[in-house]
């Protein structure tokens, strides 16, 4: 799942430091830049600029948080899945997302922060997650729509990151991308069945879901390029490979055809084919809404976080017990 980390983090993290540095550090920086330019990978124990480390930690951990929080809107419909096949598919999908979160936490931990510290940052609001998960899943069609649009957008964001300069992140992304295409296909299939073989009520359900999810999905690609001050540094470091607007346009172009096959209308009266550009023009995005939701004022922010905090707090005695037991066993073995 994509995170807007690059575009919503403090500007100073994305800049080169202004303080004086030693000649040795500058030499290391030059060597680092040369490696990046040559397309080499940076591994966990390699020297790296402090801002590079901090930026990556923020991006990877927030990407991980997004996967975990993303389990909640979809998990909401597991108990109500309409067939056993769809229930199994949804369970597998949500399980995958948990696994993706785990791969990403593991990658972030190579940068020197523990998972518990990252979780604490999430629970206290210091760390963010993709704002798309702050919207509610109100019908079964939302589940298919999330697969089609949200996972579709995430795939577009994630494929370039498979070539990220930081190797543990790139490796995690390759694993994730391999599993992700199943998610999008299953979501689309679920909608196609309802639109082509279902009842009028089901078709109305699908159209309603698309109406609510379309614009938030376009926002997943982050603010326009000219309002994304950190993108340039991200590109310089080989963390960000393609610009927000480029990815967003690519997504719209791919999705318009898919929507036509489905037989749904995308809720944008300004959506028109531009023959000169050879792309679809689309309407204005409500950026104030995006920033409001990112800042914590969306429909589900409080519920999502409360859920995660509750699960964590409720599980404290379990985690403590497991450790206590392991310690008892270790003591017994030593005594033996």
Partner 1 sequence: MTNPDTRTEWPLWEVFVRSRAGLDHKHCGSLHAADAAMAIQMARDVYTRRQEGCSLWVVPSAQITASDPGDKDMYFDPAEDKVYRHPTFYKLPSEVDHM
Partner 2 sequence: MTASIQLQQDTATQYLLRLGDTCLILGQRLGEWCGHGPVLEEDIALTNMALDLIGQARALLSHAGAGQGLDEDQLAFLRDERDYRNPTLVELPRGDFAFTVQRNLMAATLLKLLWQRLQTSTDAELAAIAGKAVKEARYHQQHAADWVVRLGDGTAESARRSQAALAQLWRYVPELFEADAVDDAAAASGLGPRWADVQADWQAEVGAVLAEAGLQPPVGSAFRSTGKRGVHTEHMGHLLATMQHLQRAYPGGVW
* Continuous segment of H or E residues that includes residue 202: helix 200-219
Of 149-157, 217-225, 263-271, 305-313, which segment contacts partner 2 by CB under 8 A?
305-313
If binding is defined by CB under 8 A, does position 318 make contact with partner 2? yes
If binding is defined by CB under 8 A, does position 92 make contact with partner 2? yes
If binding is defined by CB under 8 A, does position 124 make contact with partner 1? yes
Q: How far is CA 73 from CA 2, 88, 138, 139, 227, in A?
A: 16, 16, 9, 11, 29
If binding is defined by CB under 8 A, does position 325 make contact with partner 1? yes
- Residues 199-218 within binding reach of partner 1 (CB under 8 A): none
If binding is defined by CB under 8 A, does position 204 make contact with partner 2? no
If binding is defined by CB under 8 A, does position 181 make contact with partner 1? no
Rounded Cα distance between 46 and 48, Å, is 6
If binding is defined by CB under 8 A, does position 86 make contact with partner 2? yes
**Using the rule CB under 8 A, which residue among 103, 133, 214, 237 binds partner 1?**
103
If binding is defined by CB under 8 A, does position 306 make contact with partner 2? no
Largest CA distance in the chain: 80
Rounded Cα distance between 95 and 175, Å, is 14
Token pair, residue 150, equals: 């949200």
User: What is the dihedral angle through the alpha carbons of 289, 295, 300, 301, rounded to the nearest 10 degrees?
Assistant: 170
Q: How far is CA 93 from CA 27, 81, 85, 179, 221, in A?
A: 46, 13, 12, 9, 22
Q: Burial of 208 by CB count in 10 Å (0-12 exposed, 13-18 middle, 19+ buried)? A: middle
Q: Which residues bind partner 2 (CB under 8 A)?
A: 68, 71-72, 75, 78-88, 91-92, 94-95, 98-99, 101-102, 105, 140, 190, 193-194, 197-199, 201-202, 307, 310-311, 314-322, 324-326, 328
Q: Which residues bind partner 1 (CB under 8 A)?
A: 24, 27-28, 31, 43, 45-47, 95-96, 99, 102-103, 106-107, 109, 114-117, 119-120, 123-124, 172, 175, 179, 309, 312-313, 316, 319-320, 322-323, 325-326, 329
């Amino acid at each position: 799942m994509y995170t807007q980390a690059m575009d919503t983090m403090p500007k100073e993290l994305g800049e080169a430091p202004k303080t004086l540095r030693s000649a040795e550090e500058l030499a290391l920086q030059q060597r680092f830049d040369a490696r990046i330019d040559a397309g080499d990978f940076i591994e966990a124990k390699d020297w790296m600029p402090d801002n590079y480390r901090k930026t990556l930690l923020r991006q990877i951990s927030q990407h991980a948080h997004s996967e975990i929080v993303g389990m909640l809107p979809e998990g909401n419909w597991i108990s109500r899945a309409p067939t056993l096949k769809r229930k199994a598919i949804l369970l597998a999908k949500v399980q995958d997302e948990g696994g993706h979160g785990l791969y990403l936490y593991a990658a972030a931990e190579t940068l020197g922060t523990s998972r518990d510290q990252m979780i604490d940052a999430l629970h206290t609001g210091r760390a963010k997650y993709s704002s798309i998960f702050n919207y509610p899943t109100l019908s079964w069609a939302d589940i298919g729509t999330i697969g089609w649009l949200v996972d579709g957008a995430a795939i577009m964001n994630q494929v370039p990151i498979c070539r990220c300069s930081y190797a543990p992140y790139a490796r995690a992304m390759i694993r994730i991308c391999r599993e992700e295409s199943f998610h999008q296909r299953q979501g689309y299939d679920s909608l196609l069945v309802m639109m082509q073989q279902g009842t009028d009520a089901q078709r109305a359900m699908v159209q309603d879901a698309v109406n609510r999810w379309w614009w938030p999905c376009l926002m997943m690609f982050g603010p326009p390029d000219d309002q994304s001050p950190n993108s340039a540094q991200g590109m310089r470091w080989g963390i960000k490979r393609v610009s927000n607007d480029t990815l967003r346009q690519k997504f719209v172009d791919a999705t318009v055809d898919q929507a036509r096959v489905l037989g749904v209308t995308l809720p944008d009266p300004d959506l028109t084919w531009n023959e000169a550009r050879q792309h679809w023009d689309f309407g204005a995005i409500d950026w104030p809404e995006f920033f409001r939701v990112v800042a914590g004022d969306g429909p589900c922010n409080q519920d999502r976080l409360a859920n995660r905090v509750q699960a964590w707090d409720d599980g404290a005695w379990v985690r403590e017990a497991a450790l206590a037991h392991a310690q008892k066993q270790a003591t017994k073995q030593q005594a033996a």
